[in-house]
Amino acid sequence: MRYISTLCVFLMCLPMQLVNAEELQLKEIPVTANPLNLSSDEMTRPVHIMNGVQLQNKKSSSLGSMLDSVPGLSNNSWSDNVGRPTIRGMDRNRVQILNNGMQIKDVSNLSGDHAISLDSLSSEQIEVVTGPETIIYGGGAVGGVVNIIDYRIHPEFVDGIVGKYDVSRGGANNANSSSMLIDIGTDNLMFHLDLYNRDSKNIKIPGSSVSEKLANSDSEYPTGKYGKDTLQNSYNESIGGGVGATYFFNNGHTGFSYAKHEQEYGTILEADAFIDLESDNFKYELEMRDLSNFVNKFKVKVSHTDYEHFEMEDSAIGLDYFDIGTDAKFEIVHSLLSTAGGVLGLDISTSKFSQNTKPYEPNNKRQNFGFYALEGIEVGNHKFTVGFRHDYHDYEANAFTSDDGAPTEGGDEGSTSFAATEKSFHATSFSVGTSSKINDQWALAINVARTERAPNHDELFVYGEHHATETIEHGDRTLSDERSNSAEVTLSWADQGNAFSVSPYFIDFSSYIALLDTGVVQWHEHDGEEEALPVFLHQNVPADFYGFEFQGNIELSSNYGFNYWGDYVRAKNKNGGDLPRIPPLTLGSGLSYQLNALQASIDVEHNFSQTNTGPKELKTDSFTNLSLTMNYELPFMGGVTAFVKGDNLLDEERRNHASSLKDKVLFGQRAITVGVTGYF
């Protein structure tokens, strides 16, 4: 698919009349992760929406790095090329990653070295949602929801032929990326085609990969072990695309799509190893509107995914993962109780996880049945949102014998056998949110929630060595539900182009499923050498999370704007000490400029040092990231924009405390990316 770049250039030269891109873009869908289709200021908790120029400027090799500067979010990363979002210090099974409102099925939640099986090059909009509305996705969204939107199944009809292309090159990973999409609307049908390709080389870094703190505390890790100036085996290649067809009738539409994603990337801690993943996804959607005076919409969504990934070591499969599953969602949007509307929904899913190589986790089947309701009520200037969800989870795990390793160097490696196990859980969550207009400028929102989350299959059943991360993980089949009570207040102000909001929050976990370093090591033979690997255990602990986020902007003049943001989270194990991998205080500000076809901004963000560390965890030094973007719509080529992006312009060593590999892997050096994007 290397022809994509050539095809994009060809499209730029097509002898067709280009019109203003704004006239051709689809109508913006404010918050598709909310079935009531509310805009962000209508929800009881504001959301972050990334689309248009901002989405173009933020696109990168991983979703985590794209969203790292959003208040409350950080990047649980494997350097620049692989990363999953962390929200308010919560990651993995507490952050739902969706594609068009349906969960992305992969194994990115199982380990920090596993990539999300979707590239942002195919996205048209990305939403981050927190607050009471996330209750419809269950306890797995206690941190929040990230929804990646594409238009493979179109929400509305657009007549004619429209399209978009994007070509860029640069960055610390010297990446070449290209994408294109074409939409054709005729009669009552719309057809969609998109293709993308990304080729990233080994990442250039400003120093040694291993931190001095780790090198000084463990002689096994000299500062240059995984590279100096260049991060070893950190390349990343992805390729994929999708097709879709949508039929529109008088009061709705129905559509089908297919998407393919393939990715290969190096496992940085092993010089000759890489991960090869492949995902096939099929989606079907039916939506009928205005069925009666009280039933506004009926929607059915079905998503089937066949996912596989292989962790290759010297051309041999060291570890493999297969996950095949189908999700179905049924929703009725109504106005039975009030004009604000509500939604009743049903989720059904079934999945099968399996491995064929060395023992790490038993093969298992998962079934889930969930019912949810979200109701809005308006009383004068006050809006109330009440949410409820109940889930039934069932797990069936096969008999399994693990590879335990040896308790001492040179000892005999043992094993532990587990009988076939069936586990079931009931999880009930509810939330209440209010949003009130104090006056024309000020608004106040208050949200409270009681959330329950069933343990995920990896938290229950995993028991073995994962050499790609140089760790051993142990699940616990006796884990109980994760349970929390939370409260949040959002105070916001807006007046004549100026705005400000601040959101303090508190989450009390009576039972939090933590992955903690036990302080025990086990010795494993690998490539003829014995290695001492730390053992991490999933366990229920009581915990408190509290913090705040704020953001705002000031319109300095018709051409200049100033924006600022920040976030802070503290997470404590109430049995004593702090929880690991919690991001530090972050403060940022930026200056933007716009004049006719030129848009430019320069941003500075400071990540403070993290000294509140978990067991066996090292402190992380502070760093400052200076970045810039410039976008210029080329004259006489309507809809074509050239852009320049600069990152880490101060060339600082940057380590993200949210990453389990932050002391072994360094982010990229000072870098510039250039590119062209356009509409036709």
Cα separation, 83 vs 74, in Å, equals 9
The pLDDT score that the predictor gives to residue 133 is 74
Cβ–Cβ under 8 Å, residues 480 and 514: no
Residue labelled with tokens 């870094």: 205
Predicted confidence (pLDDT) at residue 202 exceeds the cutoff of 90: yes
Burial readout 637-646 (b: 16 or more C-beta within 10 A, e: otherwise): eebbbebbbb
Cross-strand pairs, 387: 374, 431
CA atoms 350, 121, 650, 547: torsion sign: negative
Range in 25-34, 409-418, 507-516, 661-670 with the lowest mean pLDDT: 25-34
What is the Cα 187 distance to its own chain's centre?
37
Predicted confidence (pLDDT) at residue 3 exceeds the cutoff of 60: no
How is residue 217 written in tokens?
A: 């505390």
Domain ranges across the chain: 3-679
Q: Which residue has the higher pLDDT, 549 or 61?
A: 549
Name the strand (E) or helix (H) holding 10: helix 3-12
Strand positions, DSSP E, 105-227? 125-129, 144-149, 160-170, 175-186, 189-200, 204-208
Superfamily of domain 3-679: TonB-dependent receptor, beta-barrel domain (2.40.170.20)
Cα separation, 495 vs 554, in Å, equals 10
What are the pLDDT digits (tens) for 644-673? 999 999 999 999 999 888 999 999 999 999
Q: 451: Cβ–Cβ under 8 A, 6 or more apart, which residues? A: 135, 139, 142, 429, 431, 483, 484, 485, 486
Predicted confidence (pLDDT) at residue 144 exceeds the cutoff of 80: yes
What are the pLDDT digits (tens) for 389-416? 999 999 999 999 988 888 888 788 888 8
> Of 557, 563, 612, 629, which is closest to residue 60 (Cα–Cα)?
629
> Of 51, 151, 155, which is closest to residue 99 (Cα–Cα)?
151
Measured CA to CA in angstroms, residue 418 lies from 26, 477, 526, 536 at distances of 53, 10, 24, 19
Q: Tell me what the mean pLDDT of segment 79-94 comes to.
A: 88
Most confident of 330-334, 402-406, 588-592, 632-636: 588-592
The pLDDT score that the predictor gives to residue 444 is 93
> Of 359, 406, 417, which is closest to residue 525 (Cα–Cα)?
406
Cβ–Cβ under 8 Å, residues 64 and 83: yes
Predicted confidence (pLDDT) at residue 274 exceeds the cutoff of 60: yes
Mean pLDDT of the chain: 88
Q: Tell me what the mean pLDDT of segment 431-440 comes to.
A: 89
Cross-strand pairs, 90: 87
Torsion of CA 608, 543, 448, 83, to 10 degrees: 50
Cα separation, 259 vs 590, in Å, equals 37
Locate all alpha helices (DSSP H) within 361-515, ordered by sequence: 457-461
